[in-house]
Amino acid sequence: MVNVELKNVVKKYGDLIAINNLSFKVNSGELMVLLGPPGAGKSSTLKMVAGIEEVTSGEILIDNESVTNFDPADRDVAMAFETYALYPHLSVFENIAFPLRAPKRSRLFSEEVVKEKVLEVAQFLEIDMLLERKPKELSGGQRQRVALGRCLIRDPKVFLLDEPIAHLDAKLRHRLRRELKKWQQRKGVTTLYTTTDYLEAFSVADRIVILNKGILQQVGSWEEIYNRPANTFVGTIVSDPPMNYFNGKVVVDGGKMLMQVKGTSFYLPSPIEEKVKQMNIGEVVLGVFPSKILMSRDENFIPGSGTIVDGIAKFTELRGSRKIVFVQTPQDLSFTIQLPAETKVQVGEHVRCFFGENEVQVFDKQSKINLFWV
Amino acid sequence: MPAFILTAGILIPFGYSVVMSFTDFNLTSGTSNFIGFGNYIKLAKDPEFWNALKVTILFTIGAVAIEVGIGFVSAYLLNLGMRGQKIWRTLFLLPVMLPPAVAAIMWKLMMAPIQGVFNYLLQLVGLPGSQWLGGSSSALFSVILIDAYVFMPFAGMIFLAGVQNLPKEPYEAAAVDGVSSWFTFRRLTIPLLKPVILIVLLFRIMDCLKQFDIVYAATKGGPASATMTISVQAYYHSFRWTNMGYAFAHLVVLWAIVYVLSYFLVGQWRKAVSEVHGY
Ligand SMILES: Nc1ncnc2c1ncn2[C@@H]1O[C@H](COP(=O)(O)OP(=O)(O)O)[C@@H](O)[C@H]1O
Ligand SMILES: [Mg+2]
């Protein structure tokens, strides 16, 4: 089995620092997703692991061996390129078969076996009826699948999949993200997978690395990330609509610590109370995911320990199986809530919202770091 | 209208030549009678014409092979990004800036059997000198060398542009897949450069088939008829021997050959472009 490790990797393009001191480890057989907005440095990271881009400093290990100075060919990785990188003059079949025809592998695969393998991969990716076509005769989504096929046909130590399903239509994307995960588990190949879509990340990943501007933000399973986002950037990127944020002052009222903002007082979770006290923090940013706010039209609704906020549903929006409600209090505090689509809410209606004490994240105002992690 | 003028401008001299090739137009006597295919029948039986055709074809094959071969290798080397890249490129381009006839005279001096630089250099390394342009067996090779000197940089520069425009990513993909560089060269570089290679072939083959100036300046077609290309032969028939009708028949045959070949090459080029670029 094969693990992959990055140690203090830095990548500069001229003056631009694309990757800044990045370290993380991918365990054997694990599917690690790099999640981040465009420009975060995901492709650069994959290319450095592949050896197409040199590291400016730092080290890359595959199978506990430093490959930092290895040629791409000697690293035994397979990569699906974000930009496809197809061979324009070769048919889909020959594009996918290309890695098997390389002199060092061609002895291992007879023409029969090559055909069989190409067909298997092509059927998996639903491009088996396109095998005779040239790349120019394909749509973007079809090209992307050819690029993916050329990668999957190999049995490498590591798969590097750079936004491998970003350009497919929604249905196929949903099927493939399940199937890709299965394929990867069946082969047991350690995988680095990038995406800008947190839902895709959550559905395929064993663990996730969140990157922003070349800097690592958080590593963890999706539960770990969703339960305790490391900072406000993570809170924003792993939720749509993004996390609600409130800036406010910390006050102590009757032994309980509260944060006050626009006439509303939120209770802080007890582990945070201690830290705020110790560090003598006066102002914090409170964050709550829209999916973690409960709502009721019942005036007596009090589900547990937390904060009640009464407001008015300003407008609602249906998004697939979810309903997004924008709420505003008389003192102008506003936030979004995510509810099941069938929830009945009238625009202009009074609603009672409940912020559970432990669903609330508290961030330092300056550094935007989750105080839970401090 | 401009298209019409352009077409007329191209067609009138061509039509005139074709018409003249069916006459016995003679500059000395001033006669010009229609003689049907007379000139062409004469041509088919003329051993000098067949020799000229052979010389032209050998010249073209030799010159184009060297220009394309060395041009390709030079483009590859220039693309490596050595130190002093700019100087290399300028030096490389020098020969193209010379008028071919001037280059021919320059080489003629260097190839002189007694005082020439080449024989001097050969002698230095202990090799026997050559008659170069003066030898019936070495003359054709010598004019080929001159043409290669003048036009190799042209081929090289076009190849260099082609190499520099190669997409980077397929090479990255091939590198990750552990494909050897020779395999990459054969399966990727050559097919991707096919349009450029065909363009160079097209230009150089057409140009070589029509070769006149270098040969005329260097050997005037001699010794004997060792370097007598069709163009030079036609020139002798027309202005030296004033037999215009017969000279035009030579040119029309040459035109036909150039036309058929370029038609074929342009077709191949179109196909290659659509294969590589998809339009
Ligand atoms: N070859 C390059 N030359 C210069 N800058 C680059 C190059 N490749 C990427 N960058 C820059 O590095 C940063 C990270 O890019 P990239 O790794 O492609 O991010 P991502 O894949 O997450 O979108 C971006 O700011 C991008 O503009
Ligand atoms: Mg990218």
Assign residue B156 the CATH number of its domain.
Answer: 1.10.3720.10
Judged against a pLDDT cut of 80, whether residue A148 lies above it is answered with yes
The arithmetic mean of pLDDT across residues A268-295, rounded, is: 90
Report chain A's mean pLDDT, rounded to a whole number. 92
All domains of chain A, ordered by start, with CATH?
A: 4-237 (3.40.50.300), 244-373 (2.40.50.100)
- Which band of pLDDT confidence, cut at 50, 70 and 90, is reported for residue B172? very high
Burial of B127 (0-12, 13-18, 19+ CB in 10 A): exposed
Residues in B closer than 8 angstroms to A78, CB to CB, are: 176-177
Q: What is the pLDDT of residue A231?
A: 95
Q: Pick the residue from chain A with its C-alpha nearest to B176.
A: A72
Residue B128 lies in a domain: yes
Ligand 2 centre and the CA of B260: distance in Å?
Answer: 50
Which of A:53-72 have CB within 8 Å of B?
71-72
Ligand 2 centre and the CA of A203: distance in Å?
Answer: 20
Q: What is the pLDDT of residue B278?
A: 64
- Which band of pLDDT confidence, cut at 50, 70 and 90, is reported for residue A161? very high
CA A11 to ligand 1: nearest atom: 12
Pairing of strands A215-220, A244-253: unpaired
DSSP state of A8: E
Mutual angle of helices A140-152 and A92-101, in 10-degree steps: 20
Judged against a pLDDT cut of 90, whether residue A48 lies above it is answered with yes
Q: What is the pLDDT of residue B217?
A: 79
Buried b (16+ CB within 10 A) or exposed e, B92-123: beebeeeebeebbbbbbebbbeeebebbeeee
**A250 in contact with chain B, both atoms CB, cutoff 8 A:** no
Q: Which of A78, A89, A137 sits opposite B176 (nearest CB)?
A: A78
Burial of B149 (0-12, 13-18, 19+ CB in 10 A): buried
The arithmetic mean of pLDDT across residues A345-364, rounded, is: 91
For residue B147, the Cα-to-chain-centroid distance in whole angstroms is 7
Q: CA–CA separation, A190 vs B103, rounded Å?
A: 63
Judged against a pLDDT cut of 80, whether residue B261 lies above it is answered with yes
Q: What is the pLDDT of residue B276?
A: 81
Residue B131 lies in a domain: yes
Mutual angle of helices A111-124 and A92-101, in 10-degree steps: 130
DSSP state of B239: I
Residue B63 lies in a domain: yes
Tokens describing residue A365: 């105002």
- Contact (CB<8Å) B170/A85: yes
Residue B188 lies in a domain: yes
Q: What is the pLDDT of residue A149?
A: 96
Buried b (16+ CB within 10 A) or exposed e, A97-124: bbbbbbeebeeebeeeebeebbeebbeb
pTM metric for this prediction: 0.85
Least confidently predicted of A109-118, A193-202, A217-226, B219-228 = B219-228
**A107 in contact with chain B, both atoms CB, cutoff 8 A:** no
Pairing of strands A293-296, A350-356: antiparallel
Q: What is the pLDDT of residue A254?
A: 79
Residue B124 lies in a domain: yes
* Bridge partners (DSSP) listed for residue A339: A323
Q: What is the pLDDT of residue A18?
A: 96
Q: CA–CA separation, A113 vs A118, rounded Å?
A: 8
Q: CA–CA separation, A279 vs A366, rounded Å?
A: 13
Which of A:75-104 have CB within 8 Å of B?
75-79, 81, 83-89, 98-99, 101-104
Q: A209-261: per-residue pLDDT in tens? A: 999 999 999 999 999 999 999 999 999 999 999 999 999 999 888 778 889 89
Reduced to 3 states (helix: H, G, I; strand: E, B; else coil), residue B232 is helix
Judged against a pLDDT cut of 80, whether residue B2 lies above it is answered with no
- Which band of pLDDT confidence, cut at 50, 70 and 90, is reported for residue B133? confident
Q: CA–CA separation, B198 vs B191, rounded Å?
A: 11
Q: Pick the residue from chain A with its C-alpha nearest to B167.
A: A85
Residue B122 lies in a domain: yes
Residue B42 lies in a domain: no
Q: CA–CA separation, B47 vs B53, rounded Å?
A: 10
Ligand 1 environment, Cβ below 6 A: A 13, 16, 18, 36, 38-44
Q: Which ligand is nearest to the CA of A38?
A: 1
ipTM for the whole complex? 0.85
pLDDT higher at B162 or B98: B162
Phi and psi at residue A17, in whole multiples of 5°? -95, 100
Residue B192 lies in a domain: yes
Give B162-171 contacts, CB < 8 A, sequence gap 24+: B162/B75, B162/B193, B162/B195, B162/B196, B162/B197, B163/B75, B163/B76, B163/B79, B163/B189, B163/B193, B164/B79, B166/B192, B166/B193, B167/A85, B167/A88, B167/B192, B169/A81, B169/A83, B169/A84, B169/A85, B170/A85, B170/A86, B170/A87, B170/A88
- Contact (CB<8Å) A73/B172: no
Among protein residues, the one whose CA lies closest to atom 3 of ligand 1 = A13
Q: What percent of chain B has pLDDT over 90?
A: 21
A82 with A163: CB under 8 angstroms?
yes
- Contact (CB<8Å) A85/B173: yes
Residue B218: name the closest of B101, B62, B66 by CA. B101
Tally of structural domains, chain B: 1
- Contact (CB<8Å) A88/B183: no
Name the one residue in this structure whose structure tokens are 């040239």: A134
Structural domain boundaries enclosing B181 = 59-228
CB contact set of A60 (below 8 Å; sequence gap of 6+) = A4, A5, A6, A7, A9, A48, A49, A66, A67, A68
Distance from A85 to chain B by nearest Cα, in Å?
A: 5
CB contact set of B148 (below 8 Å; sequence gap of 6+) = B63, B66, B67, B70
